[in-house]
């Protein structure tokens, strides 16, 4: 079974990990970039809708940022808001290719995947598109049907063009949604998606303290459904057991901020995806120029080093940055499990390893 989200995914970046553990400067493996905070929808459980104002990154900033990471950072995760609302959406994808990004992922709500300009840019330039269905349990309304039809149209265009683009869908889970999980998976499977990724719904985004809602029964439901899928079907139902574990998290610094660079549509660098647009978790202003020097400013490094698991309310979200922190901490303390040691020796089996 492929893994799209795992705390071990960071092990793919062996050279960066080794350099970091020796105290050396490293460039991030992934840039998560909000090119706009505008969106076509307002979803209560969307971590990217926390911006109090509407922002759009200007072209000069985007160009300079991608240039400063060229040859060093291989993954670009383009988000928002709704990134396809940016008038420079296609230009950003093209620029990322020009700057040598190997993997270019786009997160969208899917409502604008019926536009030729958006589809052309995705099929030609992106490696994956992830459609976020945050309120999918209301799956009989016109908005839901439109997204399903858009997935069908995108898949048809991918097949005609023989594009490398892969379609993923992400759906939030909770105890209340357990009976519906196989149904949503089959719907997106029939529409032509290549995978669906289930992850826990959280509350508390407004105050920067996201915590999971009750997830009782979710893992069992998805694992049962996974056993019904034929390996040759070209579709996978993915879930990270680490997100659903009750095992404690421990870290002495927010290590993941060195590997995953999160830039909001306001041009500010935030600690992690789970606290985007929370002022107290701003690490640096990235708008100062065309160099990556802000990555190693003493104040930024001090803030990263001050975030520990016992002083970080958002750790309860168990989002990917939090899990990366815990994994790296175990490496530092030589507390790896047998499974983790095996992953470090052969860090493969991950989908889109440059998209942390």
3-class secondary-structure state, position 310 = helix
- Contact indicator for 254, 304 with CB cutoff of 8 Å: yes
- Residue 7's Cβ-side half-sphere holds a number of Cα atoms within 13 Å equal to 24
Domains of the chain, each with CATH number or no CATH: 7-345 (3.20.20.70)
In this prediction, residues 30-35 reach a mean pLDDT of: 97
Q: Which residues contact 256 (CB under 8 A, 6 or more apart)?
A: 10, 272, 320, 321, 322, 324, 325, 328, 356
Q: Please state, as a whole number, how many other Cβ atoms lie within 10 Å of the Cβ of residue 175.
A: 12
Per-residue pLDDT tens digits for 54-91: 889 999 999 999 999 999 999 999 998 899 999 999 99
- Contact indicator for 221, 182 with CB cutoff of 8 Å: yes
Per-residue pLDDT tens digits for 199-223: 999 999 888 899 999 999 999 999 9
pTM for this predicted structure: 0.95
What is the separation of C-alpha 72 from the centre of its chain, rounded to a whole number of angstroms? Answer: 19
What percent of the chain has pLDDT above 70?
A: 95
Per-residue pLDDT tens digits for 274-295: 999 999 999 999 997 677 999 9
Per-residue pLDDT tens digits for 44-53: 666 665 556 7
Closest CA to 50 of 59, 63, 39: 39
> ∠ CA(217), CA(221), CA(226), 5° rounding?
150
Q: Which residues contact 305 (CB under 8 A, 6 or more apart)?
A: 253
Taking the C-alpha atoms of residue 16 and residue 294, their distance in angstroms, rounded to an integer, is 18
Pairing of strands 30-34, 195-200: unpaired
Mean pLDDT of the chain: 92
**Confidence band for 145, pLDDT divided at 50, 70 and 90:** confident
Integer distance in angstroms from the first to the last C-alpha of the chain? Answer: 18
- Contact indicator for 138, 161 with CB cutoff of 8 Å: no
**Confidence band for 256, pLDDT divided at 50, 70 and 90:** very high
What is the pLDDT, as a whole number, of residue 9? 95
What is the pLDDT, as a whole number, of residue 230? 87
**Confidence band for 142, pLDDT divided at 50, 70 and 90:** low
Residue 1 has pLDDT above 60, yes or no: no
Q: Among 23-27, 233-237, 270-274, 281-285, which is the least confidently predicted range? A: 233-237
What is the separation of C-alpha 161 from the centre of its chain, rounded to a whole number of angstroms? Answer: 26
């Amino acid at each position: 079974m492929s893994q799209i989200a795992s705390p071990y995914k960071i092990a793919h970046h062996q050279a960066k990990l080794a350099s970091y553990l020796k105290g050396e400067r490293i460039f991030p493996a992934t840039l998560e970039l909000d090119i706009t905070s505008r969106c076509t929808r307002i979803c209560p459980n969307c971590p990217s809708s926390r911006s109090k104002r509407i922002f759009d990154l200007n072209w000069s900033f985007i160009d300079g940022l991608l240039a400063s990471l060229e040859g060093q950072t291989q993954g670009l995760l383009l988000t928002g808001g709704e990134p396809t609302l940016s008038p420079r959406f296609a230009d950003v994808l093209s620029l990322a290719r020009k700057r040598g990004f190997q993997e270019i992922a786009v997160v969208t709500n899917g409502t604008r995947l019926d536009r030729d300009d958006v589809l052309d840019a995705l099929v030609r330039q992106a490696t994956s598109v992830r459609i976020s269905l945050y309120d999918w349990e209301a799956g009989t309304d016109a908005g839901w049907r439109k997204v399903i039809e858009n997935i069908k149209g995108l898949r048809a265009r991918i097949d005609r063009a023989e594009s490398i683009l892969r379609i993923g869908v992400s759906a939030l889970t909770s105890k209340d949604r357990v009976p519906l999980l196989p149904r949503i998976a089959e719907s997106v499977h029939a529409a032509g998606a290549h995978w669906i990724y289930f992850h826990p719904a959280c509350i508390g985004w407004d105050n920067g303290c996201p915590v999971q809602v009750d997830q009782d029964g979710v893992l069992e439901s998805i694992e049962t459904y996974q056993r019904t899928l034929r390996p040759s079907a070209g579709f996978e139902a993915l879930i990270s057991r680490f997100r659903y574990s009750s095992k404690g998290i421990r870290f002495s610094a927010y290590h993941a901020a060195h590997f995953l660079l999160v830039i909001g549509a306001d041009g500010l660098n935030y600690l992690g995806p789970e606290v985007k647009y929370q002022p107290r978790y701003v690490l640096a202003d990235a708008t100062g120029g065309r160099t990556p020097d802000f990555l190693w400013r003493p104040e930024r490094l001090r803030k990263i080093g001050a975030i520990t698991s016992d002083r970080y309310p958002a750790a309860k979200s168990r989002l990917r940055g939090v899990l990366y922190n815990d994994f790296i901490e175990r490496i530092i303390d030589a507390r790896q499990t047998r499974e983790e040691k095996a992953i470090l020796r052969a860090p493969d089996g991950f989908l889109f390893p440059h998209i942390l």
